[in-house]
Amino acid sequence: MAKSYRFLRVSAMAFKVLAWLTLVFQAITGVILLLGGGESIFIGGLELPARAVGIVNFVAAGVYFFSFWLMGSLIRLLLEIRERLPGA
């Protein structure tokens, strides 16, 4: 690949690293909230139990992981397509 696409290659890797970091930290936060419980948390005008927020953290972890991983994979795919074009 040309040097002009170096930023995109780094971005693809950064999205995949960010996906894993997000998954780990959201899951840890979810476990802490599920096991710890505690006082209700005020979110968006609603007072929600901490355990419910912990469950939402697990769902959010999956959504964020999928989104970041998809972005990194799409960038990598587009770079591979560009590499195989005639005249590349």
pLDDT (0 to 100) of residue 80: 92
Beta bridge partner(s), residue 46: 43
Question: Which range, 10-14, 33-37, 39-43, 81-85, is most confident?
Answer: 10-14
Number of separate helices (H) and strands (E) present in the chain = 2, 2
Query: Encoding tokens for residue 57?
Result: 């953290």
Whether residue 2 has pLDDT greater than 60: no
**For the whole model, what pTM was predicted?**
0.79
Mean pLDDT, residues 11-19 taken together: 96
Beta strands in the chain (DSSP E): 41-43, 46-48
d(CA 72, CA 37): 35
Between 2 and 37, the more confident residue is: 37
